[in-house]
Structure 1
Amino acid sequence: MATVADLMEIIGPPTKPASAVDWAAIEAETGLVFPSDYKAWAARYADIQLNGFLYVNRPYGDGAAREYGIHRTGQLRSLIEEWDTIDLVDDEGRETEVPPFPLYPESGGVYPWGSTDNGDYLLWLTGPDPEQWTIVITDGKTWWHYPGSLMDFLVGIMSRKVRCPLFPEDFPDGTDVEEYTPEDHDRIRAEHGL
């Protein structure tokens, strides 16, 4: 199983501070216990953007984690509610019609941890044991399931040993990282009048 140290070897150490996370409050609010690799990552890094494309978000605090999860999966719900099946693509790009994944706050539902510049949803497929959560990526129409942890996925993607068929062929073409603290997000929103 890959670790934050493995990811750090590829993308470098953090350059901005990671604020403390109140895991007890977030887990009580969401009804989920988050994986240890995500907690270890959030203890080291602020929000990050990998290679100008893939965003990994820290958990939302101040009572927003459940609301955020419901909002993001609600967007997916509106896309799939008319279908009995979704298109699940394998690593070679072959599609199979399968029943939709459950959506948070349903038991075992997918829960968001990031996004891409293409608007892809980066999700965990949750379950009773957070150390067994796996990764689901979707653009809302096509879905891909990676049977590893968050760090397995990030290390695999950034080392080009794992390829998500929904991502651009040339991603990643480097290991650059942008880090965003809450103050950075506030500044960006103010610059854009949001």
Structure 2
Amino acid sequence: MLEKLEKILSIEKKEHQYDWEKVEDSYEIKFPNDYKSFIEYYGEGGINEFLWILSPFSEYENLNTIFKFNEMREAYEIMKIDFPKMCEFEFWRNGKGIFPWGITDNGDELFWNYKDDSVEIVIFSSRYSEKQIFSCSMSEFLVDLLEKKKECSIFPNDFIRQENYYEL
């Protein structure tokens, strides 16, 4: 799927080498393989200066998966007390729950929802007033989104361009 993404999302080839095992062991998480391939090829950065892909290796707090995980978890747990119906998911713990992988300029948040035997994508609008769930991998989601085969009502219509690009 990454090969398909490379054709529709331009970047000056960077290719990175990261110690995934160390990060995964430290935080007791197994990141999806397509995400790891994406980060190794593209690194952290944004699609069309709107959708930002987080990385556990980023030096920038706003793009660092682990920093954002802690920040988002704290906010989510506080919201869950006051708005339990809006916050129906558990945050990542012991192999299950939501874990962030992306954010948008509008404040929307993209998560994986780790279930017993699968992982789905959950996208919350900036104030958690709306959510969308997709049963696919991150790379499948991005390919289908950029090819306009899949629509995310939370994102603005003009986010997808004729020539999509990725940059830090």
What TM-score do you get using the length of structure 1 for normalisation?
0.74
| Structure 2 equivalent of residue 10 of structure 1 | 8
Contact 2:24 2:31 (8 Å CA) reproduced: yes
Calculate the aligned-residue CA RMSD, in Å.
Answer: 2.2
| Structure 2 equivalent of residue 134 of structure 1 | 120
C-alpha separation in 2, matches of 1:60 and 1:74? 21
| Structure 1 equivalent of residue 133 of structure 2 | 145
Structure 1 residues without counterparts, runs of 5 or longer:
87-98, 181-194
C-alpha separation in 2, matches of 1:148 and 1:114? 15
More divergent stretch after superposition (74-83 vs 21-30):
74-83
Change (3 A) 1:54 1:4: same
SS at match of 1:170: helix
Contact 1:48 1:177 (8 Å CA) reproduced: no
| Structure 2 equivalent of residue 110 of structure 1 | 98
C-alpha separation in 2, matches of 1:61 and 1:49? 13
What count of residue pairs does the alignment treat as equivalent?
A: 162
Percent identity over the alignment is 27
Structure 2 residues without counterparts, runs of 5 or longer:
none
| Structure 2 equivalent of residue 101 of structure 1 | 89
| Structure 1 equivalent of residue 41 of structure 2 | 44
| Structure 2 equivalent of residue 187 of structure 1 | none
| Structure 2 equivalent of residue 85 of structure 1 | 85
Moved over 4 A (4+): 64-67
Name the aligned partner's letter for residue 160 of structure 1: K
Shift of 1:47: 1.6
| Structure 2 equivalent of residue 21 of structure 1 | 18
Q: Deviations over 1:43-88 (max 9, x none)?
A: 21122311221111222369x75454222222222233212312xx
Change (3 A) 1:171 1:35: same
Q: Deviations over 1:90-132 (max 9, x none)?
A: xxxxxxxxx6011123641111111001000111112355xx3
SS at match of 1:151: helix
